[in-house]
Structure 1
Amino acid sequence: MHGSIAEGSIHAPALSFFCELDQAALARLFADPIVIEHVRMLNAGICIGLRDLSTERAAVIRHLNEAGVPLTAWLLLPEDQGYWFNINNAPEAAARYAAFRMWTAAHALRWHAVGLDIEFDMRDLQAALANRRYLARVLLRNLFNTQRRRRAIAAYCALAEQIRADGYRTESYTLPFVLDERQVGSSLLSRLLGLADVPVDCDIPMLYSSFLRPYGTGVVWSYGRNARAIAIGSTGGGVSVGGADRIAPLSWEELARDLRLARRQCDAIAIFSLEGCVREGYLERLRSFNWDAPVEIPARAVIRIECIRALLRSILWISARAPQFALATGTIATVLWMKNRHR
């Protein structure tokens, strides 16, 4: 976990870019033909955040279809419905997919996959940022609303099956700690935050080192281990919540480092975001990128993240077995009390 990884014979991974723009900005981005040319020369796909289902957006999608760019439909909701999918808006998510199917058929659009972004409820997040007292209320509501969570998980599983039945590959964009929960059989954090862990064809953990400086590289290396695909970033862009848009995007040196670290871990890499890469001039540099170049393993950052993850998994493991611990503790206490009583 120290030193550097030397040059070898590493080939380019399967690349894709997230693009989360409103309709007008999306049209401006792809009005420049060089953007599509760069993406095509990289053999990359684009994951389009469907912030609306407009005729204008469909025209951009058709243009990308005609250019032969593989596209993923990243399903999103209006902000007043929570934006990302969660246990509070499963019916709205199903309705959104139904509307997406009709919109896709009406405009003869082609998709390679459909992505489910199951994160916090934006309404709760914005309210908690405005009033910290609201956060405790949300966490407790989510933790004890087991019926809503059970119904939402069933609805999302049915939605994923419907997407597969329609001939699409399913993706999920995952917060990193969900991988720790799965490893120890817990769901504590997911319950607190109102998330639903849904089986899909490909989970893509979001390992954005720009949000986690100075230990972000450790997150990429630690959570990237054994992953089929990972997402790195951010190069800028996305919705503005909690001041995320004020965090400095990855420099070229940071992006190059994360790309090489990610490539040592998996064969598929998503970059957030396409619009950030265009603004910073990274697309052209990626076309001549040397994946074989040595990269320094962030030893101190990895050790720090591994220690945090070990502690987190221990807490989650205990939380998942709290009834057993309570029963064992009660049994031991009863035995000791009876022994002392008969002395």
Structure 2
Amino acid sequence: MTSTTSVRPAPTALTFRQKLNRFDYKFSPYLYIAPFFILFALIGLFPIIYTFNVSLYDWHLLKGQGDFVGLENYVSVLTDPFFWNAFRNTISIFLLSTIPQLVVATGIAALLDQTLRGRTFWRMSILLPYIVAPVAVAVIFLQIFNQYHGPIAGLLELFGLDPVRWAFDVFPSHVAIATMVNWRWTGYNALILLAAMQAIPRDVYESAALDGANKVRRFWSITIPMIRPTLIFVVITATIGGLQIFTEPKLFDGRTNGGSDRQFQTIVLYLYELAFPRRDFGRASATAWILFLIIILAGLLNFAISRAIRTADTKPTKLPRVKAPVPATVPDTRKRG
């Protein structure tokens, strides 16, 4: 018997066009995303690293780099009572603004998700506060929260109540600043949540309605679980913005950096005061890095809570064991012979 051996054809060399197509297939995705990472490295990553380098030196705004002090700037900031006052003010304003803002934004999004006349008009109108300049917002609310001549002061006088020192007392100033933040950002977050609600299939609601679920039940059992990823995104972005708040408290009293007694000075205003009036760039950079770490911890906490909630929802529920009923004995009614 004769055995036949198969001879493989010699591989042909790729043409230049084929090599170019292979290169384009493998490396073009990296070229498409490269501009973002290059831009982020230039205006994001490099300033962060450079700020950390500045925080390790006794750095003056005009004199420049001084002696190497290591972590002394961090210790100086963390032992400064003004920093902890700014930290408490930031947390207070953050809680007064973020929590009501998210609750109201979710409610507005749920209302706009219904069948309404002129839905486009209402959806666009809630975005108007966001496009107003922050300076104009500050001017409007400074008139509203005027201690003696504002509409709130007139309402209090009508009921015989004393005027509120909005710009001088701690809690009223926090409420006034949080109101400015809520007015400007609630509509923006509501549109993001509305977009997530619009992506929910309508037949899910119809099936729930046929099963007898009312609107409140459908909202808590269908809407909230299905928009949870978007809700987590809104919570994280609102947390970052709330901890970095600067514009509203700065414009609320432009003559000072957080009030005459620092009653509404935030961490970023404290950083601003260190950097420019005091010209201490070393401590200001250390404050920036401390704030950066606080924001990271807050983001990780939000992620852990959302992951725990998601894990709890996906756990199968154990149904109680039901014992099988014991069959009743039927008496034998047959006649025995």
Alignment TM-score > 0.5, same fold: no
Structure number with higher helix proportion? 2
Report the structure, 1 or 2, having the larger strand content: 1
Q: TM-score, normalised by structure 1?
A: 0.20
